[in-house]
């Protein structure tokens, strides 16, 4: 994650103090899991 893309402390304080904060659109996560279900067992645990 790029630290420059994080909000500043003053922006965070403004968000917390605001009645209806405007949140930025989330970016695509750096790690995306495959939809291949072969790595999961039927109990839902990683195998």
- Mean pLDDT by 10-residue block, N- to C-terminus, for the chain (47 residues)? 86 85 76 60 56
33 SS3 class: coil
**CA pair distance 43, 40, nearest whole angstrom:** 8
Q: What pLDDT shows up at residue 25? A: 83
Q: What pLDDT shows up at residue 47? A: 56
**CA pair distance 45, 37, nearest whole angstrom:** 11
Q: What pLDDT shows up at residue 37? A: 53
Q: What pLDDT shows up at residue 35? A: 62
Q: What pLDDT shows up at residue 10? A: 93
Phi-psi region at 7: left, alpha or beta (left = phi > 0; alpha = psi -120 to 50): beta
């Amino acid at each position: 994650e790029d630290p420059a893309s994080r909000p500043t402390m003053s922006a965070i304080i403004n968000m917390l103090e605001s009645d209806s904060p405007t949140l930025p659109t989330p970016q695509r996560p750096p790690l995306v899991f495959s939809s291949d279900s072969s790595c999961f067992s039927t109990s839902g645990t990683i195998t």
